[in-house]
């Protein structure tokens, strides 16, 4: 029996559903982070009242920086999921970009935007 070179349309549809669910959650989380960063979810006067507590100000700044980092990671995750949807449309989804072999379905269910098998990812890490 020849080695499978791509996922069937039914399997691709399963992956599309997984990706769309993760994409909806990721967008929701991203929107919440952005609302928090722009004080849209708050009716207080944090951004207008003078504050004299340097420690609190520093803590707030650190929290905001952390939130910005999380938002950037979330945005990258969203882009990865969208790229995975394009690969599904092109029927190239699930193909390891280094070896050209299929990435195991279990990995794609856990990390639906993956473009490398675990083995390829480890090899790539060792090169760095």
Q: How many structural domains is the chain composed of?
A: 1
- Contact between 70 and 18 (Cβ < 8 Å): no
Assigned domain for 122 exists:
no
Domain limits at 55? 9-92
Assigned domain for 78 exists:
yes
Which pLDDT tens digit goes with each residue over 42-89? Answer: 555 555 555 455 555 566 677 888 889 999 999 999 999 999 999 999
What's the rounded mean pLDDT across residues 38-42? 66
| Residue 42, pLDDT score | 56
pTM: 0.79
What band does 3 get if pLDDT is binned at 50, 70 and 90? confident
Assigned domain for 53 exists:
yes
The span from the CA of 27 to the CA of 85, in Å, is 15
Is the confidence at residue 112, as pLDDT, over 60?
yes
Minimal CA–CA distance to 91: which of 2, 16, 1, 3?
16
| Residue 41, pLDDT score | 54
């Amino acid at each position: 029996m020849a080695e499978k070179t791509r996922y069937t349309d039914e399997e691709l549809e399963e992956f599309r559903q997984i990706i769309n669910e993760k994409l909806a959650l990721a967008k929701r989380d991203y929107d919440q982070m952005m609302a928090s960063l722009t004080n849209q979810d708050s009716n207080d006067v944090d951004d207008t009242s003078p504050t004299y507590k340097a420690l609190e100000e520093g803590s707030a700044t650190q929290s905001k920086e952390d939130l910005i980092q999380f938002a950037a990671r979330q945005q990258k995750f969203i882009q990865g999921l969208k790229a995975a949807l394009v690969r599904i449309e092109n029927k190239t989804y699930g193909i390891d970009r280094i070896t050209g072999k299929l990435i195991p379905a279990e990995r794609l269910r856990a990390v639906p935007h993956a473009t490398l098998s675990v083995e390829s990812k480890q090899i790539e890490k060792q090169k760095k």
